[in-house]
A and B are shown apart, each in its own frame.
Chain A
């Protein structure tokens, strides 16, 4: 594959609240190559959206703050950029689609207005050229040109999400961050939108971070997967390895929690307990109170990441030499 597009090293984003500091993202590493798509998977409060906001430099401050780490995009550390410089990247080189298509569009502007806005902001084009480009983008996401004159409330949920995709892709970004893009949609509409995204990703040779809680969606569209739990990436692997050899006990638990429509299972084996309060994270490995394979060492400190193969790494003591008794 190609060269590295985005590299995140030791990123920490904390929210400082009255109840204490919440380490929403607590030292994560990941990398994405050009044209590659990464699924960022985890449950509510895992830190997926905060990671995305960190990359976009949109963490609400206060209470949020990027306290440490590097975000290297195309060889440049984004954390050293000024606000003006960041504005030129956002929506242009890196775009984001938010979860809720119902509230992400401005209700008082037509779809064309909103598409043209982003094009004019980032490209030196005339109004007529911008309109031309807006029409092309609508066609690409499968919306008839004439509907561009309409307002968001005249569109259905699936159509609105496609408009957002068109806006996000209007400047041909190198990286698209899609935060739960299909969660608010019905399954048959979700299938339509995923199809459009897959298609455009290929056409534009664009890299993508797909944030989701649905491993099914990940298996449709991603090449790499990062599993997040309580601010940490606990497992990072290529799609094949993660689905055939899930290694972190949390990942295994997630798979066992999903009813598979192809199989006939009478009882699910969910992960016991609940996600910890973000202000009261357990010491040691954050997953240890819920882990079926917990050992004494897990209560002490968070485990170092171990490479199971060049494309598969996991943060768990089970795979530490001399501790887990399960050498790779």
Chain B
């Protein structure tokens, strides 16, 4: 069961300079993703989950810290090695309406990566490959010359996925791949992602705000709050025994379509704080119901392994 670590993130930090001060979008996070597993990254808007994803695929340079893919630092590679890594880490974006070039047909969109990486040079081979990939993601071959505006959200997202798997990558960063879709379509895409993972032994980093979706797809889940990972464990434990007060509130806030199991709801007070010039203490302190005033405000809690594989950053657990 213990596979190799495909992706490792070490002390990753991203600070944006703004007129009002330094915005700590991602602040010293650590995690790894094993080969063939799905790590879910959940959190509310502005917690830094997308920024993390963008740094992993090198769309944005980190302020400090390292991202290792198969042991190589993604951000210090030479051009040639970089191309190889780019081929192996792909990304699917949230909004299938703005992430596809409206002037390219489905076939061109899928073929684009063949051009960049100079594979399948013969036209006939390329066309066969396009049709093959379209079939894999469940797109009818008659759509091969369609343009994005002619497709609905679900089909567009399938094109986005087709582009991501075209070069047979090892790892895909999925940034909210289903949140723009209707529930019935969402379920179709989730099943597709599941099937592809099995078929091509893919490793997923699944970024989303919807905990029920994340739980459905993930092996392990990391909960982020204002630039920090506050808890990381397997998908069952995070629901059964969440240790961080924020994880508990987040889980209790999901409206479940189930009348029998109405649970106790924890209503958090106040809003998510600004990540600009955060104070020295725990980021969750102002909204936490279990805060210890003497410590939580002054000292930032360290991430600790409280049980094998269960990491949490909270003074209560020290």
Chain A residues within 8 Å of B, Cβ to Cβ:
43-44, 156, 158-159, 186-192, 194-195, 213-220, 239-240, 243-244, 253-262, 264-265, 267-271, 274-275
**Knowing A219-B258, A259-B216, A261-B211 touch, does A188 contact B184 (C-beta < 8 A)?**
no
Q: Is the interface of B mostly helix, strand, loop or mixed?
A: helix
- B-side contacts of A258, CB under 8 Å: 183, 187, 212, 257
Asked if B250 and A274 sit within 8 Å, CB to CB, the answer is no
Asked if B194 and A219 sit within 8 Å, CB to CB, the answer is no
Asked if B182 and A219 sit within 8 Å, CB to CB, the answer is no
Asked if A187 and B215 sit within 8 Å, CB to CB, the answer is no
- B-side contacts of A187, CB under 8 Å: 44, 209-211, 250, 253-254
Asked if A262 and B261 sit within 8 Å, CB to CB, the answer is yes
Q: Name the one of A217, A257, A259 contacting B255, with C-beta atoms under 8 angstroms.
A: A217
Q: Name the one of A156, A190, A270 contacting B253, with C-beta atoms under 8 angstroms.
A: A190
Q: Is B188 an interface residue (CB 8 A)?
A: yes
Nearest-CB distance from A157 to chain B (Å)? Answer: 8
- In the complex, what residue of chain A is closest to B217 when comparing beta carbons? A259
Question: Mask for B233-261, Cβ within 8 A of A = 1, else 0?
Answer: 00010010000000001111111111101
Asked if B255 and A219 sit within 8 Å, CB to CB, the answer is yes
- 17 pairs, CB–CB < 8 Å, chain A vs chain B: A43-B182, A43-B183, A159-B271, A186-B45, A188-B44, A188-B272, A189-B44, A190-B255, A213-B183, A219-B259, A243-B257, A258-B187, A261-B256, A262-B258, A262-B261, A267-B194, A275-B182
Asked if B257 and A192 sit within 8 Å, CB to CB, the answer is no
Asked if A261 and B183 sit within 8 Å, CB to CB, the answer is no
Having A240-B259, A244-B259, one finds 15 other A-B pairs with CB under 8 Å, namely A43-B183, A186-B272, A187-B253, A188-B268, A257-B186, A257-B187, A259-B190, A259-B216, A262-B256, A268-B191, A268-B216, A269-B187, A270-B186, A270-B191, A275-B182
**Knowing A216-B257, A217-B255, A274-B154 touch, does A261 contact B212 (C-beta < 8 A)?**
yes
A213 and B45 alpha carbons, distance in the complex (Å): 20
Q: Name the one of A192, A213, A253 contacting B267, with C-beta atoms under 8 angstroms.
A: A192
Question: Mask for B163-190, Cβ within 8 A of A = 1, else 0?
Answer: 0000000000000000000111111101
Asked if A268 and B256 sit within 8 Å, CB to CB, the answer is no
Query: How many B residues touch A, CB cutoff 8 Å?
Result: 42
Q: Is B265 an interface residue (CB 8 A)?
A: yes
- B-side contacts of A194, CB under 8 Å: 255
Asked if A260 and B256 sit within 8 Å, CB to CB, the answer is yes
Chain B residues within 8 Å of A, Cβ to Cβ:
44-45, 152-155, 182-188, 190-191, 194, 209-213, 215-216, 236, 239, 249-259, 261, 265, 267-268, 271-272
Nearest-CB distance from A118 to chain B (Å)? Answer: 25
- In the complex, what residue of chain A is closest to B256 when comparing beta carbons? A216
- B-side contacts of A265, CB under 8 Å: 216
- B-side contacts of A186, CB under 8 Å: 44-45, 209, 272
Asked if A188 and B258 sit within 8 Å, CB to CB, the answer is no
- In the complex, what residue of chain A is closest to B249 when comparing beta carbons? A188
A268 and B212 alpha carbons, distance in the complex (Å): 12
Asked if B271 and A260 sit within 8 Å, CB to CB, the answer is no
Asked if B255 and A220 sit within 8 Å, CB to CB, the answer is yes
- In the complex, what residue of chain A is closest to B261 when comparing beta carbons? A262
A126 and B250 alpha carbons, distance in the complex (Å): 44
What 4 A-B pairs have minimum CB-CB distances, sorted nearest first? Answer: A216-B255, A270-B187, A259-B216, A257-B187
A195 and B210 alpha carbons, distance in the complex (Å): 19
- In the complex, what residue of chain B is closest to A46 when comparing beta carbons? B182
**Knowing A186-B272, A187-B253, A191-B265 touch, does A257 contact B259 (C-beta < 8 A)?**
no
A221 and B257 alpha carbons, distance in the complex (Å): 11
Nearest-CB distance from B227 to chain A (Å)? Answer: 15
A176 and B82 alpha carbons, distance in the complex (Å): 56
A191 and B251 alpha carbons, distance in the complex (Å): 11
Nearest-CB distance from A161 to chain B (Å)? Answer: 12
- B-side contacts of A255, CB under 8 Å: 257
- B-side contacts of A215, CB under 8 Å: 257
Nearest-CB distance from B267 to chain A (Å)? Answer: 6
A260 and B213 alpha carbons, distance in the complex (Å): 8
